[in-house]
A = this chain, B = another copy of it.
Amino acid sequence: MALWFDDLHVGLSFTSTTHTLSAEEIVAFARQYDPQPFHLDDEAARDTLFGGLAASGWHTAAISMKLLVGDGAPFAGGIIGSGGELVWPRPTYPGDTLRVVWEITELTPSRTRPDRGMVKVRMETRNQRNEIVQVFSPRLVVPCRPQS
């Protein structure tokens, strides 16, 4: 699957495969990038907002990206974004099974470059209870189908 800008429409949506997080993975990521007690140790996390060992938000974000591009990036040219609003409504815990549900919310042809367009996407990361653990709303650049 590799969609060009021409192939897209507002409302187009897709659900990724899943990834189940282990406590070991959560701790390994946190050791490298977010070494705070509540991401490293279940005991230390008990008395915090999390109530138990929880994944770094950046770990949830990285796994969401992996799920998005895992089976091959859905858009021609890959997923290239300049950022967007990122929200973590609730934590990710050991044993949670995550999937990403994305939907196209806005399409804007480039004014200066007729060979590409801007695509606004809402990416929800949901756990096995269908609770949203992350929402990321990036703007991506997607090329138009090359003229033959």
Residues of A within 8 A of B (CB): 29, 32-38, 48-49, 56-58, 61-63, 65-66, 69-70, 73, 77-89, 135-136, 141
Question: 6 A-B contacts, Cβ less than 8 Å apart?
Answer: A33-B63, A34-B65, A35-B66, A36-B69, A57-B81, A82-B89
- Copies of this chain, complex-wide, total 2
Q: Interface of chain A, helix or strand or loop or mixed?
A: mixed
Closest-by-CB residue of B relative to A66 is B33
Q: A119 → chain B, closest Cβ, in Å?
A: 15
Q: Are A58 and B57 in contact (CB under 8 A)?
A: no
What are the residues of chain B within 8 A of A48 when measuring CB–CB? Answer: 77-78, 80
Specify which of B36, B70, B83 is in contact with A78 (CB 8 Å cutoff).
B36
